[in-house]
């Protein structure tokens, strides 16, 4: 039986956990409170108690931006980007984990090396490529850099490697090929890793700012981070409106994480530290 320690030790542990949780949640609470604080009250300084809460900032946000079109743009791009990364990442992971071909480890090493190349280095050549193909200011331009993810391939390869080879051999004896083994055996067994990659991919696409800023010009293709940046003026900023937009941007990420948190923990525990 596990020793849980003395009562004071447990109380101290619970207190530390509560303090840590409060510190983590405080910025989100502050954002929500600021978004419902009247603009005039913000000049009095920060507060956690709102005397006259209002949703005026959200109405101003809807009037200032085509917020629902922007949210749908971000949501559509994030969903398609996530789906593409899951397809390309899982197929590449299966190839690196199960197939034999010359210089496999060398190729995988070079593939992982791309993780050390920041997006800022790639922005100019990517933009030139989109401009040459006359694809700038399109949804495809937003999706192009996110079709594949080296991190996703790495994490999924670790998961595929953990699947016993005996299952593949038994399926091969029954006449199954690589496609059937991949779809009916491997994919169901790596669902926690797939969920982990999906959440990271969704968050990366949803929060992306630099690439949309470079490649998008038309308001109808604008994503949420790009739209929220227009709320900050050169001399004055309506912080209640900015925080209202931040709340709108936080909600989808929070929902996705809450729905997939169990799979994320399992995926990282069983694959990320292998």
Tens digits of per-residue pLDDT, 171-203?
888 888 888 989 899 999 888 889 889 988 998
**Residue burial 205-215, b: 16+ Cβ < 10 Å; e: rest:** bbebeebbeeb
Q: Is residue 105 part of a domain?
A: yes
Q: Is residue 123 part of a domain?
A: yes
Summarize pLDDT for 239-267 with one digit per residue, the tens: 788 888 888 888 888 888 787 777 666 65
| 237 three-class SS | strand
Q: Is residue 197 part of a domain?
A: yes
- Pick from 11-15, 215-219, 270-274: least confident: 270-274
Alpha-carbon distance 66 to 220, whole Å?
9
Mean pLDDT, the chain, rounded, equals 84
Alpha-carbon distance 156 to 108, whole Å?
13
What CATH number did the domain enclosing 161 receive? 1.10.3720.10
Q: Against a cut of 0.85, is the pTM above it?
A: no
Residues spanned by the domain of 223: 60-272
Q: Using N-to-C axis directions, what is the helix angle for 239-267 and 191-206, rounded to 10°?
A: 160
Q: Is residue 49 part of a domain?
A: no
Summarize pLDDT for 26-81 with one digit per residue, the tens: 888 888 888 888 765 565 556 677 777 888 888 888 888 888 899 999 999 999 99
Structural domain total, the chain: 1
pLDDT of residue 263: 67
Alpha-carbon distance 260 to 255, whole Å?
9
What's the chain's length in residues? 274
Q: Is residue 119 part of a domain?
A: yes
pLDDT of residue 18: 92
pLDDT of residue 79: 93
248, with CB counted inside 10 A (0-12, 13-18, 19+), is: buried
Contact call for residues 269 and 196 (beta carbons, < 8 A): no
pLDDT of residue 273: 46
pLDDT of residue 43: 57
Summarize pLDDT for 75-108 with one digit per residue, the tens: 999 999 999 999 999 999 999 988 888 888 898 8
Q: Is residue 46 part of a domain?
A: no
The DSSP element (H or E) to which 206 belongs, if any, is: helix 191-206
pLDDT of residue 261: 72
Contact call for residues 159 and 267 (beta carbons, < 8 A): yes
Contact call for residues 150 and 114 (beta carbons, < 8 A): yes
Q: Is residue 13 part of a domain?
A: no
Q: Is residue 21 part of a domain?
A: no
């Amino acid at each position: 039986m596990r020793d849980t320690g003395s009562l004071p030790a447990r109380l101290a542990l619970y207190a530390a956990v509560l303090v840590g949780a409060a510190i983590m949640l405080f910025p989100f609470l502050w954002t929500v409170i600021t978004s419902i604080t009247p603009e005039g009250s913000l000049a009095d300084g920060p507060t956690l108690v709102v005397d006259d809460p209002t949703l005026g900032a959200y109405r101003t946000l809807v009037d200032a931006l085509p917020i629902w079109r922007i949210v749908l743009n971000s949501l559509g791009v994030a969903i398609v980007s996530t789906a593409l990364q899951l397809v390309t990442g899982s197929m590449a992971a299966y190839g690196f984990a199960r197939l034999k071909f010359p210089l496999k480890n060398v190729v995988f090493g070079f593939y992982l090396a791309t993780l050390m190349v920041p997006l800022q280095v790639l922005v100019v050549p990517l933009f030139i490529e989109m401009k040459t193909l006359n694809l700038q200011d399109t949804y495809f331009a937003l999706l192009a850099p996110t079709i594949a993810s080296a991190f996703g391939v790495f994490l999924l390869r670790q998961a595929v490697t953990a699947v016993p080879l005996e299952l593949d051999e038994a399926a091969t004896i029954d006449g199954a090929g690589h496609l059937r083994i991949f779809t009916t055996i491997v994919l169901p067994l790596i669902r926690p890793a797939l969920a982990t990659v999906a959440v990271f991919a969704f968050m990366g696409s949803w929060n992306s700012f630099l690439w949309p800023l470079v490649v998008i010009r038309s308001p109808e293709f604008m994503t949420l981070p790009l739209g929220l940046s227009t709320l900050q003026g050169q001399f004055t900023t309506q912080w209640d409106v900015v925080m209202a937009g931040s709340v709108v941007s936080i909600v989808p990420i929070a929902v996705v994480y809450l729905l997939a948190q169990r799979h994320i923990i399992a995926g990282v525990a069983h694959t990320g530290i292998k």
